Chain A
Amino acid sequence: MSAALRTEGLAKAFTLHLQGGVRIPVLGGVDLAVHPGECVALWGPSGAGKSTLMRCLYGNYGAGAGRILLRHRGAEMDLATAEPRAVIAARRETIGYVSQFLRVIPRVATRDIVAEPMIARGMAREEALARATALLHRLNLPERLHGLPPATFSGGEQQRVNLARGFAPGYPVLLLDEPTASLDAANRAVVIAMINEAKAAGAAIIGIFHDAEVRGAVADRLFDVLPHQDAA
């Protein structure tokens, strides 16, 4: 079966113009492939570029070189060279990303934040809100919080809102950056179950899991991300 997401010779460096144009190479020659129903854990020391790789895969960082091939609408598209409109369409339909931090939208209620990507994909509003509510309950977020904007929530509560929003649409490809970082054991177990259900439903998942228990429970294999050798 063909990969849901793969990279060919992906490289990324940052040029800091405000620091005298110093160039920091982070990724070089990354060849990664993830298939439907599979979970790959990025593995490597802190600072090796795992999060940078994730952001490149989502199109949030531009690729310096190489290709990022996403299976979208039945064909492969290269996220490294795609037009902004095409990247936006791929994010709406095919690829989801759960970061460590929730970017709060002023005044928008938690329930609506979770429902939004489902509505964008064409789900009826009532159905999307019902699914959002069910997921928030599953992640042990009490009903009284569903109608409030998450700006004042604790870190763990915000992360669960983020998780609900990321898992709700059922993207074919899902990127998870430390999805359980600030969760207690009960919620960690919920997230493990959600990841395994997404895999069973055919999702291709790439994650950064520092928690060995979580990694052991969901990852099919590890992908080494090594610190760039020719740095400095």
Chain B
Amino acid sequence: MLTAEGLTLHFGVIPALVDVAIEVAEGEVVAIVGESGSGKTTLLRVLSGLMAPDAGSVRWLGADVHAMGEAARRRLMRTDWGFVHQNPRDGLRLNVSAGGNVGERLMAVGARHYGNIRAQAIEWLARVEVDATRIDDLPRTFSGGMQQRLQIARTLVTNPRLVFMDEPTGGLDVSVQARLLDLIRTLSRELGLSVLIVTHDIAAARLLADRILVMRRGRVVEQGLTDRVLDDPQHPYTQLLVSSVLAA
């Protein structure tokens, strides 16, 4: 569904992406791992159309994402795609109630019946395990983990086909991380979602991903079946990455 080739991007003299190719198929969960500064977040931004590459192409169902124009790209972001930010405050509207945050995405794709919108919002709050009595509260009164689950509900309510996730468990307590990972895993399977997830958490990648790409200094140094890359890493950098993890 999503295909990118030859992606190259420089920040001044620093190569952020060097000839990166990636493909995400329907229903597939793909993880991009690597340490800070490896270019993984930049790659996610280029793939989702938020940032233009110096060279290379990104195609969604055959259409060139960077050639389609701002309006079409925004429409894609509201319909087929979803984006879960590392910081939930970047994906939520903090001065709008929890129910409003979820309902707003529905209204953006044309839903108008208030009762239906509220019913769907309640249903999605339940799916992400947010107490329905909090529907009229502002997200700023929520804990970090609850905000992240609310962001996921807001993203998934419109039934996207591909969800980009940038370190969705970063900055959360370990116990909350496990709950969130389980939620992402369950939802992606139940809904047949494609997910492209950027993480530096190897254990999370193992739990969620069918395939994994290892990035270093803007390049994909190794990729393949998740458990094979993690259990039988070939590239020196992947071996270092895997051996540096505490019992993943």
Contact = CB atoms under 8 A, between A and B. Distances in A.
Contacts of A61: 228, 231-232
Interface in A16-36: 16-18
Contacts of A105: 182, 185, 207
B182 A62 contact: no
Interface stretch (A37-45, A81-89, A218-226): A81-89
A84 B210 CA distance: 8
Interface in A170-225: none
B141 to A, nearest CB: 25
Given A105-B182, A105-B207, A85 B231 contact: no
B239 A17 contact: yes
B29 to A, nearest CB: 10
A59 B231 contact: no
Contacts of A144: none
Interface in A56-92: 59-62, 84-85, 87-88
A106 interface: yes
Interface string B206-228: 01001100000000000011111
Contact of B179 (A16, A17, A107): A107
Interface in B160-190: 178-179, 181-182, 185
Interface of A: 14-18, 55, 59-62, 84-85, 87-88, 105-108
A60 B210 contact: no
Contacts of A88: 210, 225
B225 A59 contact: yes
A14 B234 CA distance: 8
Nearest to A116: B189
Closest 6 A/B residue pairs (Cβ): A17-B236, A106-B178, A84-B225, A61-B232, A107-B182, A84-B211
Contacts of A60: 227-228, 231-232
Contacts of A16: 239
B181 A106 contact: yes
Contacts of A17: 235-236, 239-240
A55 B210 CA distance: 17
A87 B181 contact: no
Nearest to B179: A107
Contact of B236 (A18, A85, A87, A106): A18
Contacts of B231: 55, 60-61
B224 A84 contact: yes
B133 to A, nearest CB: 23
B25 A85 contact: yes
Contacts of A62: 224, 228, 232, 234
A16 B235 CA distance: 9
Nearest to B27: A85
A88 B239 CA distance: 23
B232 A18 contact: no
A105 B204 CA distance: 10
B129 to A, nearest CB: 11
Contacts of B185: 105
A18 B182 contact: no
B23 to A, nearest CB: 10
B182 A108 contact: yes
A176 to B, nearest CB: 18
Contacts of B226: 84
Interface string B225-248: 111100110111001100100000
Contacts of B243: 18
Contacts of B232: 14, 55, 60-62
